[in-house]
Each structure stands twice: as C-alpha cells, then as structure tokens.
Structure 1
Amino acid sequence: MIDNVRETQAAYDAIASEYARRWAGPDQQWVTAELEHLSAVLPSGARVADVGCGPGHHTRLLRERGFRAVGFDLTLGMLASHGVPGVVQADMRALPVATESFDAMWCAAALLHVPRPDVPDALAEFTRVLRPGGHLLTSVAEGDGELWEPVSYASSRRRWYVLHRLETFTGHLRAAGFEVTGRARRSTHREWLHIRARRI
C-alpha cells in the first residue's frame, strides 16, 4: 500500500533546494496581507507557530514583523534548505510543544498534504497548541477529491494533494473549537481558500 504522506515527504526532501530557490522571491500580496493582519491583532513578541514551514521563508518574515516564530515541518531537507534557524522537524498531527503555548498559528498550503481522515485530528492539535483567543491563518486547495501531481521541475517525483470545500472545511474548524473570522479565495495554477479563525 502506498503511504501518501511518506512519498510526498520524500519528494520534498528531493526537491528541497530547488523549492527553496523558487520561493525565495518577493513576497506575494496575500502573504503581506496576512502578515499585516497578524500585526494588527497581536503585539510584538507574540509567539507564532509556522506549521508546514518548508524552507522557512514565512518563519523569517514573521520574525521580521517582531514575532517569536518557530517553524515546524515534517521534511528535514526542507528545514535545512534555506538556513533558517529555530526550526523543528515535526508532524503537525502531533506537535512537540506544550498546550496553549502559542498566540497564533500560520499554516500556509500544508494541510493540503494531510490525509482527509486526519484533518479533524490536525485541527484539534492546533486547538491544543493555541491559547484561548489565539489566531489561525491557513490556506488549503479548493476542490473535490484527492490526486497525485508530478513535480514540474522533478518529473520523477510526485506530491499528493487533498482538496477541500469551504463549507466542509469550516465545519471541521468549528468542530475543533474555532470561530471563523475571515475567508477569501485566490487563483493561481490551482484554486485556494484562505481562512482566518480564532480559537474559542
């Protein structure tokens, strides 16, 4: 039986350096908007978990905004690819941190690799890690079903994606103890849902 998570992890290990290079350019507009939102709702020095941080580009940007950000990712190659310090190898379904130890969680395009049956457990883990009133900023691919996609610049590698619909995903958030406070859509090579939520 194919282990979708492990094969995707192996793909990211293999492409880590090229991935880090390709995503090291100017900040995308949505990233700046989300950073400005966090700066408006949290004080300088607030603790932020960047979950599924990859090379740590967003971890670095969060720190530049004055947050105490820690990056978490399952793939060691990605964590090592950009030389960002203060990052930790971890599975978002079982984060190695104390309960209620973060003020916010940033999870950009990472939940889309979590098996659909495990999504409620991952969101429950986010609830555990966040303090009451803590903020979650996340993005997932919008659509139906699950699929393998080849990596365009490494054709021997592929990544597995789980697509989500807004109503179902926000239902998972509410069940995990979050209040949805904002939502937006964005189109690139795929359709994206950007969701802001607050831990109740």
Structure 2
Amino acid sequence: MFRTSLKVGSTVLDVGCGPGQYSRQLRALQYEVISVDFSSEMARIVVENDQAAAGSTLVMDMRHLGIGDTRIDAIWACASTVHITASDMPSVLSEFRRVLKPNGRILVNAIVSPLGLRVESAAEVAGRSTVGRTFQHYPNEEAFTSMLADSGFGIVRTSRKRIESRVLECSRHPTNMWVNFLCKRVDS
C-alpha cells in the first residue's frame, strides 16, 4: 500500500518510530529514513538495534517537527498518532503537511471504537511506567477522515483490521477497528 507510491531513495519520516522496527524495514527497501520519537529511550534503542540509523534518529514531538518545509517525500506514522488526542490531531496533521513535499504521501492510522480517550491502567503498564499511554478512539471513520480533509490530505486507499486488545485479561476491547489511511498532500 505504501511502497507502490515511492521511488527508491525517497526520504521517509518514521514518526513515533518506537524501537525502530518499521524504520529498519523501510531502510531495507532503500529509502532514506529519518526516525523520530518523543522518547529519548526509544531513540537510543533504534540506534542500538541499527547502527545505520545513528545519524538519522531524532528525539522530537510530532506536534513540532524540527524539519524544514516540504523536505519529506513520505511519512510513516504507524501506531503512533493513536496516542495523540483528537484535540491535538489537527495540529499534528498540519505539521505533517508542512514537512511533506507537494503530493507527498502519508500512512496514518486511527482506532475506531466507542471507547473515546483511553489511558492504560497501572496494571497494564505493569511497572514499566507510572503513567499509561493514551489511546484516542474515534466514534467512526468520518470523525478522522474529516480531519484529514480539513488538513489538506486526500485519501488514496483505506484498509481496516478488526482487533481485540489483549493487554490484560480484564481489559479486552473486542470492538476496536484499526483503520489505515494512505493519503497524499493535496495542493490547490
């Protein structure tokens, strides 16, 4: 879905890269990858696991990317924007649009379910942290697609996967639908 829209050597920004599993895969496809994460610990792990990422792994907040305008061919934001609240999502999408080249591509996903804004419980983080991650759930796809359109993105393709969260036996959420949107920057 993402690969067919990019040429070898394209610059891809892996936003919310976590430990870098997608960055490594994108690099193996011969893209120039810039890995960014809010967590300095995740950035450290990226470089520890892949020395090729040493000069291109940055600690950044996706709401304020320290990257020049129209520098990026594509953004891979897989399983990262789900941690951004609905109220902050328009500014994130605006920032993504700012760094993308005209007709640049973005892969972004959203969780569709009736749960609204959910924060992991202390039991779910199991001592890894004192604060759980935030997960934004949208009531329907249209709630997210309207944000994409308002931010200047056209949807190229959509895929859906129904999942059951199994973080804990007591916190199963069988109604979750992860929706992946491949979009392009639309310029007038």
Q: TM-score, normalised by structure 2?
A: 0.82
2:15 matched residue in structure 1: 51
Alignment-mate amino acid for residue 61 of structure 1: Q
1:116 matched residue in structure 2: 86
Alignment-mate amino acid for residue 15 of structure 2: V
1:173-197 Cα distance to aligned partner (Å, 9 max, x none): 0011010111111123242111110
2:145 matched residue in structure 1: 170
Rate the CA distance shift 1:198–1:149 in 2: closer, same or farther, 3 A. same
2:4 matched residue in structure 1: 40
Alignment-mate amino acid for residue 162 of structure 2: S
Q: Note if contact 1:109-1:139 (Cα within 8 Å) is conserved in structure 2.
A: yes
Helix, strand or coil at the partner of 1:147: strand
The offset of 1:38, in angstroms, is 3.1
Is 1:155 the counterpart of 2:130? The answer is no
Structure 1 runs, 4 residues or longer, greater than 3 Å off:
150-154
The offset of 1:151, in angstroms, is 7.1
The offset of 1:42, in angstroms, is 1.3
1:63 matched residue in structure 2: 27
Helix, strand or coil at the partner of 1:117: coil
Aligned partners of 2:32, 2:66: CA distance in 1, in Å?
Answer: 17
Rate the CA distance shift 1:77–1:133 in 2: closer, same or farther, 3 A. same
Kindly report which structure 2 residues correspond to 1:116-135, keeping only aligned pairs within 5 A, or say none. 116-135=86-105
Helix, strand or coil at the partner of 2:69: coil
Aligned partners of 2:124, 2:137: CA distance in 1, in Å?
Answer: 22
Q: Note if contact 2:16-2:37 (Cα within 8 Å) is conserved in structure 1.
A: yes
Q: TM-score, normalised by structure 1?
A: 0.77
1:137 matched residue in structure 2: 107
What count of residue pairs does the alignment treat as equivalent? Answer: 164
Q: Note if contact 1:51-1:107 (Cα within 8 Å) is conserved in structure 2.
A: yes
The offset of 1:153, in angstroms, is 6.7
1:7 matched residue in structure 2: none
Q: Note if contact 1:52-1:73 (Cα within 8 Å) is conserved in structure 2.
A: yes
2:67 maps to which of 85, 88, 97: 97
Aligned partners of 2:125, 2:153: CA distance in 1, in Å?
Answer: 38
Alignment-mate amino acid for residue 129 of structure 1: V
Structure 1: gaps of 5 or more residues:
1-36
Aligned partners of 2:2, 2:157: CA distance in 1, in Å?
Answer: 13
Give the root-mean-square deviation of aligned CA atoms.
1.6
Which structure: greater helix fraction? 1
Tell me the percent identity: 29
